[in-house]
């Protein structure tokens, strides 16, 4: 098969949601309908959790929270589907944001009773920043939820995107019977089955088919016809171009747990979801069809095997063909590396691959050479842009609890922060180390992993910072003056960039007013363009 046809058949996406909306369940069901697994158990079944979702880390097993991001690959109707799992817990949101840099589209799951929630808005903001095409899946229709038209209105308003329903629910809660496929104009009614794909009850392609009334009754049929008429009047027809430009989101309804609406979603997804897209670097745009290989690391995962301190760097292939045992150029380190065992994943099932194409995500064994954002190429020096690192929201000073283990603590902190578990800032005076995270849980993860993987123990001192601001300027002198004046609030990140720790929104505003020559960045995106020192 030619490289172009390999690229054309790939769809790389992530499922995202506010915790509990049903992301894990939908992931399992897509794997089930995609033929990647044979049965899906109740979500809490450990067996299924282990095989269908990422569950690499010991801590995750202990807490039952999906900390990891893994890749699930399956072939469905001639399409290679790369599904990138994202952690459900909000404390690991930054992991999700980074994963979004490696996909070409997303499916956003919304709970029909809760509508748009806080994390839904934040995730959508990240998708908007990157113009990522979105499909909305409104889940849990087997429960009493909000009116579908009200939900659509709320989503359009709060997520700033135009919608177009491509499936429509018949009833809701106890009267929920299935979904009508507005795209194909067909209706499949499934028998409820939580574990396997049940045979469809009826399949019709015309709302006047008497089989419909016989199956769902006159009232439900009349109400479905009214809804369909209303939708066709209210919403513009689906426009593939607007969807690919992230200006229009198709909407599906269903019940992941009962398999309703999943087939419609998957079938439409493989038809409309975008193929691997070009990527922007600091030098130029890179097209997937270019001959030469390039890719970037968006995630580093440690401790797949707790007996070894091995790490896996997840790399998204952006152009050309990745080949096993071929030397590639690590741009930041200016060194060439080859990889004897590049992996593709089906959760914990790893398979060594010979080649990978644009859109694919591969796992590379790493002994500490990779950082998030690193680029591999066939010689050209550029960095892929848009791998975000947001200002942390919580800050703590790390205090060594075992002076005999200070080297281990130092090493552990360096490696864990390379993985993006947290960000490390150092105060030059006294060499104080402050870590910043977006969630309280990460502090516990770090403490746990430092002890288990590095034999180092630490305590924390809470720091009352509001935001970390990276500084750039057009006036070097003024920046030096600022750094001197605010020396007790100036820390350095791992690349030796000065960072101002603002203790309140007010302080930050005042400093911005006093030093208009300085730009205060609350994302480290600006760094990506620069080779780190």
Q: How far is the CB of 222 from ligand G4P (least distance, A)?
A: 26
Q: How far is the CB of 344 from ligand G4P (least distance, A)?
A: 23
107 contacts ligand G4P (rule: CB under 6 A): no
Query: What are the residues facing 295 on neighbouring strands?
Result: 317, 376
Where in 53-82 is the site for ligand G4P (CB under 6 A)?
A: none
In this structure, are strands 105-111 and 10-17 parallel, antiparallel, or unpaired?
A: parallel
19 contacts ligand G4P (rule: CB under 6 A): yes
With CB under 6 A as the contact rule, the residue among 4, 38, 42, 160 that binds ligand G4P is 42
Q: Compute the distance between CA of residue 177 and CA of residue 190 in angstroms, rounded to an integer.
A: 8
For residues 253 and 343, which CB has a smaller minimum distance to ligand G4P in the complex? 253
Q: How far is the CB of 264 from ligand G4P (least distance, A)?
A: 14
For residues 136 and 257, which CB has a smaller minimum distance to ligand G4P in the complex? 257
With CB under 6 A as the contact rule, the residue among 256, 320, 359, 420 that binds ligand G4P is 256
Give the 3-state secondary structure of residue 491.
strand
- Phi-psi group of 20: left, alpha or beta (phi > 0 → left; psi -120 to 50 → alpha; rest → beta): left
Sign of CA dihedral 23, 29, 34, 40: positive
**Angle formed at CA 93 by CA 419 and CA 408, multiple of 5 degrees:** 30
Cβ atoms of residues 317 and 361 within 8 Å: yes
Q: Distances from the Cα of 486 to the Cαs of 174, 264, 492, 501, in angstroms?
A: 62, 58, 13, 9
Cβ atoms of residues 59 and 445 within 8 Å: yes
Pattern 20-39, ligand G4P, x by CB under 6 A: xxxxxx--------------
Q: Compute the distance between CA of residue 408 and CA of residue 414 in angstroms, rounded to an integer.
A: 10
With CB under 6 A as the contact rule, the residue among 181, 255, 344, 375 that binds ligand G4P is 255
Q: Compute the distance between CA of residue 442 and CA of residue 446 in angstroms, rounded to an integer.
A: 6
Size of interface with ligand G4P, in residues (CB under 6 A): 19
Which among 14-22, 69-77, 274-282, 425-433 is the span making contact with ligand G4P, rule CB under 6 A?
14-22
Reported in sequence order, the residue ranges of 233-348 that DSSP labels E, i.e. its strands, are 248-253, 279-280, 285-286, 294-302, 311-319, 322-323, 328-330, 335-337, 343-346
For residues 102 and 109, which CB has a smaller minimum distance to ligand G4P in the complex? 109
Where in 141-180 is the site for ligand G4P (CB under 6 A)?
A: 142-143
Q: How far is the CB of 122 from ligand G4P (least distance, A)?
A: 15
Give the 3-state secondary structure of residue 4.
helix
For residues 23 and 98, which CB has a smaller minimum distance to ligand G4P in the complex? 23
For residues 20 and 410, which CB has a smaller minimum distance to ligand G4P in the complex? 20
139 contacts ligand G4P (rule: CB under 6 A): yes
Give me the residues that bind ligand G4P (CB under 6 A), please. 17, 19-25, 42-44, 88, 139-140, 142-143, 255-257
């Amino acid at each position: 098969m030619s490289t172009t046809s390999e690229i054309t058949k790939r769809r790389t996406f992530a499922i995202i949601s506010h915790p509990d909306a049903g992301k894990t369940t939908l992931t399992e069901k897509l794997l089930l309908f995609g033929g990647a697994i044979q049965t899906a158990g109740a979500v809490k079944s450990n067996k299924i959790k282990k095989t269908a979702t990422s569950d690499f880390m010991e801590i995750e097993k202990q807490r039952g929270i999906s900390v990891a991001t893994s890749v699930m690959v399956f072939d469905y109707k001639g399409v290679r589907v790369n599904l990138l799992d994202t952690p459900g817990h909000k404390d690991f949101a930054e992991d999700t944001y980074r994963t979004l840099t490696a996909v070409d589209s997303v499916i956003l799951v919304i709970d029909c009773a809760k509508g748009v929630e806080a994390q839904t808005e934040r995730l959508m903001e990240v998708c908007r920043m990157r113009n990522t095409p979105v499909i909305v899946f409104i889940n849990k229709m087997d429960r009493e939820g909000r009116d579908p038209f009200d939900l659509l209105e709320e989503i359009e308003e709060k997520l700033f995107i135009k919608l177009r329903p491509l499936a429509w629910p018949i009833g809701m809660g106890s009267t929920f019977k299935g979904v009508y496929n507005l795209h194909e104009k067909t209706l499949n009614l499934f028998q409820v089955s939580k574990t396997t794909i049940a045979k469809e009850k009826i399949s019709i392609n015309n709302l006047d088919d008497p089989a419909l009334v016989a199956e769902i009754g006159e009232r439900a049929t009349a109400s479905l016809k009214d809804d369909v008429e209303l939708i066709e009047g209210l919403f513009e027809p689906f426009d593939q171009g607007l969807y690919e430009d992230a200006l229009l989101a198709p909407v599906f309804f269903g019940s992941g747990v009962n398999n309703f609406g999943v087939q419609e979603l998957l079938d439409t997804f493989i038809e409309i979801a975008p193929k691997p897209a070009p990527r922007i670097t600091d030098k130029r745009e890179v097209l997937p069809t270019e001959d030469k290989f390039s890719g970037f690391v968006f995630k580093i995962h440690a401790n797949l095997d707790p007996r070894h301190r091995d790490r896996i760097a997840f790399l998204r292939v952006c152009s050309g063909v990745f080949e096993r045992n071929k030397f590639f150029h690590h741009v930041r380190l200016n060194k060439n590396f080859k990889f004897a065992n590049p992996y593709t994943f089906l959760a914990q099932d790893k398979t060594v691959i010979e080649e990978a194409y644009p859109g694919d995500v591969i796992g590379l064994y790493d002994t500490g050479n990779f950082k998030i954002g690193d680029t591999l190429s066939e010689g050209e020096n550029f960095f892929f842009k848009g791998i975000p690192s947001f200002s942390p929201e919580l800050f703590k000073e790390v205090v060594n609890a075992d002076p005999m283990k200070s080297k281990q603590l130092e090493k552990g902190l360096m490696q864990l922060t390379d993985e993006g578990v947290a960000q490390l800032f150092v105060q030059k005076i006294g060499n104080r180390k402050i870590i910043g995270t977006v969630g309280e849980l990460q502090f516990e993860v770090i403490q746990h992993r430092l002890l288990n993987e590095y034999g180092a123990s630490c305590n924390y001192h809470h720091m009352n910072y509001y935001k970390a601001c990276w500084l750039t300027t057009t006036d070097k002198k003024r920046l030096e003056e600022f750094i001197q004046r605010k020396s007790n609030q100036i820390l350095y990140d791992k690349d030796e960039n000065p960072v101002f720790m603002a203790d309140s929104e007010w302080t930050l505003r005042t400093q911005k007013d006093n030093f208009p020559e300085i730009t205060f960045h609350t994302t480290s995106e600006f760094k990506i363009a620069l080779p780190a020192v």
